[in-house]
Amino acid sequence: MATLTLKEFADLFGIDPATMPKACVDLINKGTWGYSAYPTAERDQIILDFLRRIRDRHFSFVTDGDKKRWIEGWGENLKGFKDSGNVDALLPRYIRPNMPVRLYGDFVKTEDPYFEKHWYEVFREWMFLTYFKGFDHIFEFGCGSGFNVARLAEMYPKSTVHGLDWAEPSVEIVENLRTVKGLKTQGHHFDFFNPDYSLDIPPNSLVFTVGALEQTGTNNAKFLEFLMAKKPALVFHAEPTYDWYDPNNLVDHLAITAHDLRNFWRGYHENLNKLKEQGKVEILKTKRAYFGSLVLEGYSQTIWRPL
């Protein structure tokens, strides 16, 4: 059985291992990171099941204006948080135990049933410690369960952390983080398909998304135009990025097919690169994740700022 070490984590994040924050090193050291290749028959079964889901269209689909599934999903997190008062109840329920994960272009079996959850916690801590310090305001668009908002508000109590989502339970979660937990958070309704230009993004603000823009399909230009108009100091996207899969790799090809079928995020990087050529943005980093869930790689980085 192979093991993800500090070196592999750094490679997946696109950094020098020597720059990994101590808090992340501590999380890595206490984690269980063993993984192995699937036996051929098991791997074939995973792929066959995936293909059957594609054939039978057993995936959720992105539809402009349809937020029923988000109200239901984040409503479950809201209820769990209200019942327990514990921010652990905000873990998104799409991060499930005992599932295959994607690693370096293949499916692997993991020793830890919550491998993706714990990997994401290391990634999130690195992301927040490396890029989010020193901003007066931090905006998460598509904040969903509030999982990230809660952690950021704990890490940076002097910053105002804004959680924005089009589903009412998400906004209520963020508001409850302030009224119940005493964190410096604000909840806002926001629709990627119809951005609210009355929203104030003050100077020295950071904007980020994690697995939220995937839902905008090809209709994401409006949000990019909104960001260009509001000019945050920094924008960080951790998203599944269609353009970076290898169509000649079978596991990547499955993700491409799922993106196509579900009408997931496409075209954003093409538009961002056009803005770069026009001298309107600076792209600071792009990095494919090479890590993800059964269906896709959800953590590829795009870091940029308007000029």
- Does any domain span residue 147? no
Structure tokens at 72: 């239901």
Q: What is the 8-class DSSP label of residue 202?
A: -
pLDDT along the chain (307 residues), means of 10: 97 98 98 97 96 79 63 82 85 83 97 96 98 98 94 97 94 94 96 95 97 85 96 97 95 92 86 97 98 94 98
pLDDT of residue 68: 77
Strand partners, 163: 140, 187
- Does any domain span residue 279? yes
Angstrom distance (rounded) from CA 140 to CA 120: 16
Angstrom distance (rounded) from CA 172 to CA 187: 7
Sign of torsion over alpha carbons 152, 146, 292, 215: negative
Sign of torsion over alpha carbons 99, 105, 111, 115: negative
- Does any domain span residue 66? no
Strand partners, 37: 108
Structure tokens at 75: 């409503």
Mapped onto helix, strand or coil, the DSSP state of residue 168 is: helix
- Does any domain span residue 157? no
How far is CA 230 from each of CA 197, 198, 199, rounded to the nearest angstrom?
A: 8, 10, 9
pLDDT of residue 79: 87
- Does any domain span residue 156? no
Q: What is the 8-class DSSP label of residue 38?
A: P
Report phi then psi at 247, rounded to 5.
Answer: -65, -15
Domain range for 279 is 2-60+91-131+191-306
E-only strand ranges, the chain: 2-3, 34-37, 101-103, 106-110, 137-141, 160-165, 185-189, 205-210, 234-239, 281-287, 291-292, 300-306
Question: Got the DSSP string for 139-164?
Answer: EEET-TTSHHHHHHHHH-TTSEEEEE
- Does any domain span residue 100? yes
Angstrom distance (rounded) from CA 214 to CA 263: 9
pLDDT of residue 63: 55
Q: What is the 8-class DSSP label of residue 47?
A: H
Q: How many domains does the chain have?
A: 1
Rounded CA Rg of the chain: 19
- Does any domain span residue 292? yes
CB atoms within 10 A of CB 32: 14
CB atoms within 10 A of CB 151: 17
In degrees, rounded to 5, the angle at the alpha carbon of residue 227 between the alpha carbons of residues 67 and 277 is: 125
